[in-house]
């Protein structure tokens, strides 16, 4: 059994290790490098993506779904990239690759397929809230979708690279009915929000994405920072848990912080309406599994 964290150096050590992670597959490295190059065309990235059947399939599945309102069959990866946007394609490639990897030694602390479905659900719900009036000035829908998709990135990092401790954290969260964040801090010295931000910052994601990853469980700090995308991720995270869309890997279900509504200046009726709409699309979203 892993002992509780009593070493003041533990947090520093974990942060140092997270900052050095991860070793990414060659195809994904090429996708990320191409996405960061301003002279890269959609055709250039399409050529790289086409070498990975799983990522290609996910990109085409998304662009042809009701999420983007396209009811004709789009079969060109290059065309899909133009519609979805570079940031979304980059995040899909990154998320699908990282989320479906398993710890090198040991068993995953949570169901990765259910976790991916939850992440897609949060991305979809956050984007839908924005289209229905939850404004985030200066932030586009693509960035909101990415923020929802990667909001719990830190959980996968912990599970892959600190697997023994993280399985113990998951066990304690379930047994003690505490949040996974409380268990993470106890055993690792920091939580998945901090770890996820470190990694997303390394991968050069925009500031609103970093804020959503770090602050989606902390509406007090989100309000102080004016982090509207973090508030969107918070509401969407709660909503997906409420309608049982995928599994977030939390021991104790999250509660909705009313400050999220105040940050966005939206009524509860808009949230209830959005939750109902997404619940009606559960089957479609669940079809985005990565098994």
Domain ranges in the chain are: 23-100, 103-291
Domain 103-291 CATH class label: mainly alpha
With 0-12 / 13-18 / 19 or more C-beta atoms within 10 angstroms meaning exposed / middle / buried, residue 53 is exposed
Query: For the segment 118-149, what is each residue's pLDDT rounded down to a tens digit?
Result: 999 999 999 999 999 888 888 988 899 989 99
CB 64 within 8 A of CB 73: yes
Place of tokens 């998709």: 149
- Distance separating alpha carbons of residues 41 and 34, to the nearest angstrom: 9
CB 93 within 8 A of CB 151: no
For 47-74, what is the mean pLDDT?
A: 79
DSSP string, 185-212: HHHHSS-HHHHHHHHHHHTT--HHHHHH
How many helices (DSSP H) and strands (DSSP E) are in the chain? 18, 0
Tokens for 262, please give them.
């105040």
Query: For the segment 215-246, what is each residue's pLDDT rounded down to a tens digit?
Result: 999 999 999 999 999 999 999 999 999 999 99
Query: For the segment 264-278, what is each residue's pLDDT rounded down to a tens digit?
Result: 999 999 999 999 999
Query: For the segment 11-31, what is each residue's pLDDT rounded down to a tens digit?
Result: 777 777 776 665 566 777 788
Residue 218 has what pLDDT?
Answer: 96
Q: What is the CA radius of gyration of the chain?
A: 18
Residue 155 has what pLDDT?
Answer: 93
Tokens for 184, please give them.
């993470």
pLDDT at 2 over 50: no
Report the 10 Å Cβ neighbour count for 170: 22
Among 53, 125, 39, 51, residue whose Cα is nearest residue 86: 39
Instruction: Please give the distance of CA 2 from its chain centroid, rounded to a whole number.
Output: 27
């Amino acid at each position: 059994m892993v002992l509780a964290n009593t070493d003041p150096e533990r947090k520093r050590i974990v942060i140092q290790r997270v900052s050095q992670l991860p070793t990414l597959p060659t195809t994904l490295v090429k996708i990320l490098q191409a996405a960061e190059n301003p002279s890269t065309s959609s055709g250039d990235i399409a050529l790289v993506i086409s070498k990975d059947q799983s990522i290609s399939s996910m990109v085409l599945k998304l662009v042809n779904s009701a999420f983007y309102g396209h009811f004709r069959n789009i079969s060109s990866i290059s065309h899909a990239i133009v519609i979805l946007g570079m940031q979304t394609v980059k995040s899909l490639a990154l998320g699908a690759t990282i989320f479906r990897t398993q710890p090198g030694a040991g068993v995953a602390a949570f169901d990765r397929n259910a976790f991916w479905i939850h992440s897609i659900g949060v991305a979809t719900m956050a984007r839908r809230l924005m289209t229905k009036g939850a404004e985030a000035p200066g932030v586009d829908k693509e960035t909101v979708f990415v923020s929802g998709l990667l909001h719990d990135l830190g959980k996968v990092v912990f599970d892959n690279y600190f697997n023994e401790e993280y399985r113990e954290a998951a066990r304690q969260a379930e047994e003690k009915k505490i949040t996974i964040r409380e268990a993470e801090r106890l055993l690792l010295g920091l939580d998945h929000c901090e770890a996820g931000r470190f990694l997303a910052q390394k991968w050069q994601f925009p500031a609103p994405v970093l804020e959503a990853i770090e602050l989606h469980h902390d509406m007090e700090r989100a309000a102080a920072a004016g982090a509207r995308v973090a508030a969107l991720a918070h509401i969407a995270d709660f909503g997906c848990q409420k309608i049982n869309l995928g599994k977030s890997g939390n021991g104790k279900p999250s509660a909705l912080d009313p400050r999220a509504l105040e940050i966005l200046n939206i009524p509860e009726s808009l949230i209830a309406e959005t939750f109902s709409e997404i619940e009606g699309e559960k089957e479609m979203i669940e079809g985005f599994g990565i098994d």
